C-alpha cells in the first residue's frame, strides 16, 4: 500500500494521457456549459494548474504520455518540504495518486503491485530504488505537434 513520502516529484513532473489542447478545450467547454453537464473530471482545477506547463510528450513502451510540470500549485516550505497550495481541494488525479487512472508502472511492465509509484523514493513503492528520477523521466521528451499544443 504505502503512503506519501513527500518527495514532491509527482507535482514536479506530471504524466497524463491528455494533450494541452484537449485540456484547454475541455476547460472551455466546462466554462460555457450548463450546470450539471457531464465534464472531464476536475477540469476546473486541472487547467489552471497545468496551463502553459507542458514540456512535450514521451513514449513509454508504446503508450504516449504528455509531460507537464511543475504544477502551478506546487511550492516548498522553509525546510524544503513540498507543499500543495490547494491541498484541501486538489483534483482526484492528485489525491488518488498513484492509483488514479493507469499507473505508469503498468506501462513500464515491472513490479506493478509493490511499486505503483512512478518515481524513485516514492512512499508507495516497496523498493526504494524502483522508479525513475526527475532527470531520467525527462529523457526522450518529444515536441508536441501543432494539433496537440
Give the one residue of 73, 107, 116, 137 binding ligand SF4; rule: CB under 6 A: 73
71 binds ligand SF4 (CB under 6 A): yes
90 binds ligand SF4 (CB under 6 A): yes
* Three-state secondary structure call for residue 1: coil
Whichever of 26 and 73 has its CB closer to ligand SF4, that residue is: 73
Whichever of 6 and 31 has its CB closer to ligand SF4, that residue is: 6
Residue 98, preceding peptide bond in cis (omega within 30° of 0): yes
Return d(Cα 19, Cα 9) in angstroms, integer: 20
49 binds ligand SF4 (CB under 6 A): yes
Return d(Cα 111, Cα 132) in angstroms, integer: 13
Give the number of other CB atoms < 10 A from CB of residue 122.
22
Q: Which stretch binds ligand SF4 (CB under 6 A): 20-28, 70-78, 111-119, 124-132?
A: 70-78
Return d(Cα 87, Cα 85) in angstroms, integer: 6
Binding residues for ligand SF4 (CB under 6 A): 11, 14, 49, 71, 73-74, 84, 86, 90, 94
Amino acid at each position: 500500500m504505502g503512503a506519501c513520502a513527500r518527495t514532491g516529484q509527482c507535482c514536479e513532473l506530471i504524466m497524463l494521457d491528455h494533450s494541452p489542447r484537449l485540456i484547454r478545450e475541455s476547460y472551455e467547454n466546462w466554462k460555457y456549459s450548463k450546470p450539471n453537464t457531464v465534464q472531464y473530471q476536475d477540469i476546473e482545477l486541472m487547467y489552471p494548474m497545468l496551463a502553459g506547463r507542458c514540456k512535450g510528450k514521451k513514449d513509454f513502451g508504446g503508450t504516449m504520455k504528455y509531460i507537464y510540470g511543475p504544477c502551478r500549485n506546487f511550492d516548498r516550505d522553509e525546510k524544503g518540504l513540498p507543499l500543495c497550495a490547494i491541498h484541501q481541494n486538489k483534483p482526484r488525479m492528485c489525491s488518488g495518486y498513484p492509483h488514479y487512472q493507469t499507473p505508469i508502472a503498468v506501462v513500464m511492465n515491472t513490479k506493478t503491485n509493490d511499486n505503483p509509484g512512478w518515481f524513485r523514493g516514492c512512499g508507495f513503492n516497496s523498493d526504494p530504488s524502483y522508479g525513475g528520477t526527475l532527470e531520467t523521466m525527462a529523457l526522450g521528451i518529444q515536441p508536441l505537434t501543432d494539433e496537440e499544443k
